[in-house]
Amino acid sequence: MIGGHDAPRRPKAPDTPLHVLVLWAHPLEDSFNARLCRTVVECLEQRGHTVDCHDLYRERFQAVMTAEERLAYHDPDRNQAAVASEVARLRRAEGLVMVYPTWNFGVPAILKGYLERVLIPGVAFHLTDGSTRAGLTHVRRLAFITTYGATRSVVKGLVGDPVRKVMLRGLRRLCARDADARWLALYDMNRPTAQRCERFVRRVESVLATW
């Protein structure tokens, strides 16, 4: 997971509707994050896309990789057994949206578990003689929608905003070569205001209107 750019060009709306997998990772159904997820689903459906909203908490996704899964990790003939339904949903996706809060400079544990257990060899990427080849080439649109407690200057100054880099440089590399990735982040949520939150919702709506 190397290379990439943090500022992809503005996407051109696809000629045909997409099948979009929305991964939502927040334990509270009345949170601002929940509102963001609802906004995403509504905007995509209004654009004519089909949406598979995967609520990781309510669907009780098991985040912990077992010893058996780890032993089979590098064997594409065996490593999908425990996550077959998840893999099937991911393979249908032409668009992928992740909605989650950033906690402790990282994604929630349940989403991290999804990345570890589902984005595996033979699915998200292929390993040949130590080299990695993209496996999610069917994914043409990406959007990451997140909130941070701290300001952007604090996050970037202290740790370099690692999640942004992982998503835009790492995960994007696993998708179609010309996949467009959008990063939408609302910082300083330790001091939220209704005006800032509403403005961010409008921004999400504006970006997804181009899908």
6 falls within a domain: no
| CATH code for the domain in which residue 155 is found | 3.40.50.360
Burial class (CB in 10 A: 0-12, 13-18, 19+), 97: buried
**Residue 122 lies inside a defined structural domain of this protein:** yes
Instruction: Say what the pLDDT of residue 24 is.
Output: 98
Looking at the domain assignment, is residue 10 inside a domain?
Answer: no
Which tens digits make up the pLDDT trace of 100-152?
999 999 999 999 999 999 999 999 999 988 889 999 999 999 999 999 999 99
- 13 lies in a domain? no
Tell me the residue range of the domain where 174 lies: 19-208
Task: Count CB neighbours of 75 within 10 A.
Answer: 12
33 lies in some domain = yes
pTM of the model: 0.90
- The pLDDT assigned to 5 comes to 37
Tell me, yes or no, whether 198 lies in a domain: yes
Residue ranges in the chain whose pLDDT is less than 50: 1-13
66 in any annotated domain: yes
pLDDT at res. 19? 98
At residue 15, the pLDDT reads 64
Total number of domains in the chain:
1
Whether 152 maps to a domain, the answer reads yes
Question: Would you state the pLDDT for residue 129?
Answer: 84
β 19-24/131-134 pair status? unpaired
- Give the other-Cβ count within 10 Å of 66's Cβ: 11
